C-alpha cells in the first residue's frame, strides 16, 4: 500500500503537467518578445526582422524538446504507479472474478465454475434477475433512510421499464407499486403519519397499500430522529405502547428501557413545575416528577422488572448527592440513549419480519470473505481442467465468522452430506441423527439394525423420525 | 462454516472486490497524458512550419501578422494544456481518496471491529452507485453518491458520458439510433482501440452505410459507395467491404439473410452493447457490475437448504408469489406465525433476498453446526436446551411445561420430560 502512496505522491508533486505548462509559458514569452522586438525595436539595436526570426528557431526547438521531456517525466510517473499497482495486486487476477461472478449466479441447472462455461450462463444468473436486484436495492435505500434517493430511483426504474416494455421486453416490475406513493415527499415532520392499525391487523392482506414500506420506514426514522436529536422520547414510548403485545411476545425489553430512560430524564433535569404546589423546593422537583411518572407507568412492568424498578426507586433517596451514590451508573444518559436507539431499530425491523442489519450489507460482507476462496478454487479448476460436479452446492467450503451463522447446519456423519429437502435428517431411537438416505442404505434388507454409533438396536420400519434442525 | 474461524482480517485478499477502483483514475490519467502529447505535437508542427514560412517573408507587416498567428497557436496550446492539467488535478484527488479508503482497511485488525462495519458500509455504497451507474440510473447514482459523500470514490463522469453515447446509439424510442457521438468517441480513442483490435468503428461505419443504402435513392447510393470506398478498403478485414457491396444489391425489405438482419432496427441495440463492451475493456472496467459478483458470492456462502424449505420458521413476510407463467406476481403477505425466537433473521430468508437466492447454490459445509446440548421436541424440532429454556421463560410458560417457540402461544404444550436429548455428531 505504501508503494502506491509514494507513487501517487510522485505524480502529484512533479510528474504532472504543471512543468509542461511552465515550458509552454516560456515559449509564449519568447514569441512575444520577438514580436515586440520586431514591432517596435529598441533604438540602439540594429537587429533586423529576419535575423530575429532566425534566432527564434533554435530556442523554439529547444522549448519543444523540453516539453517532450516533461511529458516523458509524467509518463515515467504513471509507469511507476502502474508497477506499484501490479505489485500490490499480483496474483489476484481479476479475470477469474468476472467468470465466477456470473457463473455463481447461474440458474438452477448446470452451474459451471469453469471460466469458459461461465459466460454461457450469463443470460441467467443475477443478470436475469434485474427486477429483484432493484427491489432489494430500493428496500435497502429505504432502510438507510435515504428517502429522496429512493424516490428518484423508483422514478427512474419506472421510466426505464416503461420504455423497455414498449420495446417489447418483458420485465417484472410489479414491486414498484409498493414503493410509489401519491405524494413524493415523505413528510418527516408529519405527526399525523401514524398507522392506526390494531395489532392483529398487521398481517392482514388489506393493509397492502401503496407505499406501505416507505411509510413504515419514514415512521421509524421520524421516531429515531426525535429520540436521537431532539431528546424526545414521547413518539418512541407511544409506538412501544401501541405494539406492546407483540413486543412482549418477543420478550423485548424496549418498553421498559424507554420508561426507565424517561424516569432518568425526569430525575436529572429539574423542571420548574409551578403546578405542584406541594413542592416549593425546586431542587426536588426533578425527582418528584420522576416519582409521579414511576407511579403511573411502572406498575405495568411489575412481575418482570421488579429488581430494576426497586433500584431506580431506591435512587430517589440519594437525589441531593447522586454522583457519589451507588446509583450513579444507572443515570448516565448518553450511552443508554444510543443503545435504546439500536434496540428500537432492532425491534421495529423485527416486527416487520425483516433482518435488523441490512441484508445487502451482510451479504456483501459475506461475499467479500468468500470471494478469495472461490476465485482460488476456480483457478485450480481451470488448471486441472476438471469441472464442478455438484450443481446445487458450492464445491468448496467458504468459512465465515460466527456472526454470520444464522441457521443450524446438519452434516450427516456417515455420508458427509448436508441435510436438504430431499435428504432430511432422521433420528434413531437412541438419539443419534443420520441422513435419511444413509439410514436406508444401512438398513437395506434387514429388519433390525444397529445404530452406527452405539450398541442400540432397533426395528427399521418407517424409518427414523424426521427432525428439523 | 467452521465455528472457530478467526475474525482476523487479511486485507490483501479482502480487496479483490476493490481492484478496479484504483485502475480507472490511472487509465484516465494516461489518456490525459496522451492528449497532452498530441496537442504538443500538433502545436510543435504548426509553430515550426509557421516560423519556417516566416523566414521567407520580407515585409515587416507580414512578419508581424505571422508572428501573431504563431502566438495565438501557442496560447491556444497553453489553454488546452491548462484544461488538461485541471482534469489531471481532479483525477489525482480522486486517486488519493481511493488509496486512502483502501489504506483504511489495512488499519483494521479484525472483522469484528466497529470500524470494519463503517468501512463495509462505504464499500456497499460504492458498489450500489457503481450498479446504478451501469444500469443507467444516473440521477439516483449521483444523489446517492452525494448523500453518502463518496463522489470521489466512484466514476460518475465516465459513466455519464458512456450512458449518453449508448443512449444515442439506442435511439429515442421508435426512431433509429445515432452513430455520430459514438464515432466521435472512437476518434478520440483511436490508438487504444487499435491496440485492442476493436471492430467498433467498422461496425459504426457499416451502420452509416446501411442508413444511406436504406433510402434507395440514386444519389444516396453513390454517396454510400464513396463512403464504403473510404472506410472499408485497406483494412485487413475484407468482410465489411463484401457485405457492404452485397447490401447495395438488395432492397431494404429483403428477406435474404444476412441482409435482412443488417437492415433490421435490432442492429442498434447490438451496436449499443458492442460500444459498452468496448468502452469497459478500454478502461479496464469489469464487464459485470461488481455488486453482482459480491452478491452471488455472498448469497451462496450464506445460503443453507433450510432457507427455501417449506419448514423454515424464519420465512419473511413479503414473499413474491410466482404463478406458473410468471405473468401475475403479487406481493402478498403470507400469514406467518410471528417469529418468537430471538435469533436475527437470516439475510437469505429475508424478503429482499429470498427470491434472488433461489437459483444460487448453497454453501458447502463439512461439519455440523448446532447449539449446545440439543434436545428434540415431540414435534421434531431441535433446540439447544438452555436457549429453549430461556425462550420459554420469556414466553411465560409455567414451570415444568414446554412449548415450541416457533409456534408461539398457539402451539402444543408438553412436559419437559418429553424433550429428549439428541446427538448431532
The single residue listed with the C-alpha cell 522549448 is A63
The distance of A426 to chain B (nearest Cα, Å) reads 9
Helix (H) or strand (E) holding A116: helix A115-118
**In this model, does residue B394 exceed pLDDT 80?**
no
- pLDDT for A198 equals 36
Partner residue opposite A371 with nearest CB, options B297, B317, B332: B297
Model confidence over A390-442: pLDDT tens digits?
678 888 888 888 888 888 888 998 888 888 888 888 888 888 888 888 888 88
- pLDDT for B378 equals 87
**Regarding predicted confidence, which is higher, B376 or B53?**
B376
> Residue A20 and residue B339: Cβ atoms within 8 Å?
no
- pLDDT for A167 equals 58
Reported confidence tier of residue A191, pLDDT bands at 50, 70, 90: very low
Partner residue opposite A81 with nearest CB, options B26, B54, B55: B26
- pLDDT for A284 equals 66
**Residue B36 at interface with chain A, using a CB cutoff of 8 Å:** yes
The size of the A-B interface in CB pairs under 8 A is: 464
Long-range contacts of A329-337, Cβ-Cβ distance < 8 Å, separation of 24 or more: A330/A264, A331/A264, A331/A267, A331/A268, A333/A261, A333/A264, A333/A265, A333/A268, A336/A257, A336/A261, A336/A264, A337/A227, A337/A228, A337/A231, A337/A261
Most confident residue range from A355-359, A384-388, B95-99, B175-179: B95-99
Mean pLDDT of A80-88: 85
**In this model, does residue A195 exceed pLDDT 50?**
no
For A180, residues 6+ apart whose C-beta sits below 8 A from its C-beta are: A154, A158, A210, A211
Nearest residue in chain A measured CA to CA from B20:
A94
Q: Give chain A's mean pLDDT.
A: 73
> Among A211-220, A306-315, B50-59, B135-144, where is mean pLDDT lowest?
B50-59
Reported confidence tier of residue A96, pLDDT bands at 50, 70, 90: very low
Partner residue opposite A11 with nearest CB, options B92, B331, B370: B92
Mean pLDDT of A212-237: 82
Task: Give B136's Cβ-side CA count (13 Å radius).
Answer: 18
- pLDDT for A45 equals 57
Chain B positions touching A465 (Cβ under 8 A) are 380
C-alpha–C-alpha distance, residues B113 and B96, integer Å: 25
Mean pLDDT of B371-376: 87
Chain A positions touching B29 (Cβ under 8 A) are 11, 78
**Residue A57 at interface with chain B, using a CB cutoff of 8 Å:** yes
Model confidence over A154-174: pLDDT tens digits?
888 888 888 776 655 555 566
* Interface subset of B 133-192, CB within 8 angstroms of A: 135-140, 143-144, 147, 173
Distance set, CA B127 to CA A49, A94, A160, A368 (Å): 64, 16, 21, 12
**Regarding predicted confidence, which is higher, A283 or B400?**
B400
Q: Give the global pTM.
A: 0.78
Model confidence over A241-272: pLDDT tens digits?
888 877 776 667 788 888 888 887 777 776 55
Model confidence over B185-230: pLDDT tens digits?
888 888 888 888 888 888 888 888 888 888 778 888 888 888 888 8
Amino acid at each position: 500500500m505504501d508503494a502506491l502512496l509514494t507513487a501517487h505522491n510522485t505524480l502529484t508533486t512533479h510528474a504532472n503537467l504543471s512543468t509542461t505548462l511552465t515550458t509552454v509559458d516560456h515559449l509564449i514569452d519568447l514569441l512575444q518578445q520577438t514580436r515586440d522586438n520586431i514591432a517596435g525595436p529598441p533604438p540602439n539595436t540594429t537587429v533586423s526582422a529576419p535575423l530575429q526570426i532566425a534566432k527564434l528557431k533554435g530556442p523554439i526547438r529547444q522549448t519543444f524538446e523540453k516539453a517532450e521531456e516533461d511529458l516523458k517525466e509524467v509518463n515515467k510517473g504513471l509507469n511507476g504507479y502502474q508497477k506499484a499497482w501490479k505489485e500490490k495486486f499480483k496474483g489476484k487476477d481479476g479475470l477469474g472474478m468476472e467468470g465466477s461472478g456470473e457463473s455463481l449466479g447461474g440458474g438452477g441447472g448446470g452451474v459451471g465454475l469453469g471460466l469458459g462455461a461461465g459466460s454461457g450462463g450469463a443470460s441467467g444468473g443475477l443478470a436475469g434477475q434485474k427486477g429483484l436486484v432493484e427491489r432489494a436495492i430500493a428496500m435497502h435505500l429505504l432502510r438507510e433512510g435515504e428517502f429522496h434517493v429512493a424516490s428518484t430511483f423508483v422514478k427512474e426504474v419506472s421510466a426505464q421499464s416503461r420504455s423497455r416494455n414498449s420495446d417489447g421486453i418483458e420485465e417484472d416490475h410489479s414491486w414498484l407499486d409498493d414503493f410509489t406513493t401519491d405524494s413524493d415527499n415523505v413528510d418527516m415532520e408529519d405527526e399525523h403519519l401514524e398507522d392506526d392499525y390494531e395489532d392483529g391487523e398487521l398481517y392482514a392482506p388489506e393493509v397492502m397499500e401503496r407505499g406501505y414500506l416507505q411509510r413504515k420506514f419514514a415512521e421509524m426514522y421520524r421516531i429515531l430522529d426525535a429520540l436521537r436529536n431532539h431528546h424526545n422520547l414521547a413518539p418512541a414510548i407511544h409506538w412501544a405502547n401501541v405494539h406492546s403485545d407483540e413486543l412482549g411476545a418477543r420478550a423485548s425489553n424496549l418498553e421498559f428501557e424507554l420508561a426507565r430512560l424517561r424516569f432518568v430524564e425526569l430525575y436529572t433535569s429539574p423542571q420548574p413545575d409551578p403546578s405542584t404546589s406541594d413542592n416549593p423546593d425546586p431542587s426536588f422537583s426533578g425527582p418528584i416528577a420522576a416519582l409521579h411518572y414511576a407511579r403511573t407507568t411502572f406498575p405495568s412492568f411489575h412481575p418482570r422488572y421488579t429488581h430494576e424498578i426497586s433500584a431506580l426507586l431506591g435512587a430517589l433517596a440519594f437525589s441531593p448527592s447522586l454522583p457519589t451514590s451507588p446509583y450513579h451508573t444507572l443515570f448516565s444518559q448518553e450511552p443508554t440513549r444510543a443503545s435504546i436507539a439500536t434496540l428500537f431499530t432492532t425491534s421495529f425491523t423485527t416486527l416487520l419480519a425483516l433482518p435488523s442489519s441490512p441484508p445487502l450489507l451482510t451479504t456483501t460482507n459475506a461475499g467479500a470473505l468468500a470471494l478469495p476462496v472461490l476465485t482460488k478454487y476456480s483457478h485450480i479448476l481451470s488448471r486441472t481442467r476438471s469441472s464442478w460436479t455438484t450443481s446445487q452446492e458450492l464445491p468448496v467450503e467458504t468459512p465465515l465468522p460466527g456472526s454470520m451463522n444464522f441457521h443450524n447446519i446438519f452434516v450427516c456423519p456417515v455420508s458427509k452430506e448436508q441435510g436438504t429437502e430431499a435428504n432430511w435428517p432422521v433420528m434413531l431411537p437412541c438419539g443419534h441423527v443420520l441422513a435419511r438416505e444413509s439410514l436406508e442404505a444401512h438398513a437395506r434388507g434387514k429388519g433390525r439394525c444397529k445404530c452406527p454409533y452405539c450398541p442400540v438396536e432397533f426395528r427399521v420400519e418407517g424409518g427414523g423420525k424426521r427432525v428439523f434442525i | 462454516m467452521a465455528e472457530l474461524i478467526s475474525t482476523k482480517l487479511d486485507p490483501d485478499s479482502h480487496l479483490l472486490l476493490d481492484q478496479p477502483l484504483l485502475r480507472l483514475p490511472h487509465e484516465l490519467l494516461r489518456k490525459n497524458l496522451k492528449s497532452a502529447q498530441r496537442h504538443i505535437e500538433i502545436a510543435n508542427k504548426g509553430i515550426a512550419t509557421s516560423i519556417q514560412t516566416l523566414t521567407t517573408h520580407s515585409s515587416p507587416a507580414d512578419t508581424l501578422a505571422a508572428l501573431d498567428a504563431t502566438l495565438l497557436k501557442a496560447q491556444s496550446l497553453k489553454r488546452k494544456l491548462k484544461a488538461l492539467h485541471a482534469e489531471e488535478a481532479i483525477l489525482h484527488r480522486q486517486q488519493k481518496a481511493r488509496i486512502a479508503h483502501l489504506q483504511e482497511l489495512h488499519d483494521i485488525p479484525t472483522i469484528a471491529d466497529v470500524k470494519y462495519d463503517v468501512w463495509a458500509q462505504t464499500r456497499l455504497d460504492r458498489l450500489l452507485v457503481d450498479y446504478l451507474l451501469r444500469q443507467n440510473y444516473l440521477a439516483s447514482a449521483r444523489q446517492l453518491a452525494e448523500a453518502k459523500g463518496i463522489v470521489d470514490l466512484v466514476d460518475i463522469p465516465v459513466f455519464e458520458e458512456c450512458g449518453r453515447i449508448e443512449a444515442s446509439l439506442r435511439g429515442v424510442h421508435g426512431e433509429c439510433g445515432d452513430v455520430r457521438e459514438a464515432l466521435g468517441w472512437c476518434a478520440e480513442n483511436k490508438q487504444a482501440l487499435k491496440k485492442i483490435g476493436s471492430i467498433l468503428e467498422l461496425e459504426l461505419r457499416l451502420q452509416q452505410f446501411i442508413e444511406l443504402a436504406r433510402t434507395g435513392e440514386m444519389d444516396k447510393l453513390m454517396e454510400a459507395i464513396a463512403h464504403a470506398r473510404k472506410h472499408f478498403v485497406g483494412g485487413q478485414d475484407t468482410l465489411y467491404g463484401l457485405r457492404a457491396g452485397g447490401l447495395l444489391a438488395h432492397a431494404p425489405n429483403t428477406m435474404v439473410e444476412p441482409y435482412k438482419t443488417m437492415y433490421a432496427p435490432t442492429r442498434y441495440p447490438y451496436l449499443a452493447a458492442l460500444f459498452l463492451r468496448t468502452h469497459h475493456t478500454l478502461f479496464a472496467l469489469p464487464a459485470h457490475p461488481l455488486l453482482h459478483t459480491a452478491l452471488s458470492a455472498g448469497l451462496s456462502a450464506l445460503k443453507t437448504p433450510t432457507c427455501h424449505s417449506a419448514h423454515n420458521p424464519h420465512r419473511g413476510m413479503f414473499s413474491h408469489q410466482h404463478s406458473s407463467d410468471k405473468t401475475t406476481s403479487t406481493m402478498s403477505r403470507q400469514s406467518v406465525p410471528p417469529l418468537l425466537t430471538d435469533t436475527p433473521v437470516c439475510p437469505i430468508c429475508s424478503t429482499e433476498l429470498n427470491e434472488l437466492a433461489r437459483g444460487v447454490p448453497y454453501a458447502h459445509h463439512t461439519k455440523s453446526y448446532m447449539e449446545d446440548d440439543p434436545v428434540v421436541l415431540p414435534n421434531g424440532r431441535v433446540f439447544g436446551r438452555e436457549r429453549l429454556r430461556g425462550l420459554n421463560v420469556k414466553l411465560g410458560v409455567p414451570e415444568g411445561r414446554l412449548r415450541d417457540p416457533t409456534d408461539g402461544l398457539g402451539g402444543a404444550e408438553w412436559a419437559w420430560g418429553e424433550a429428549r436429548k439428541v446427538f448431532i455428531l
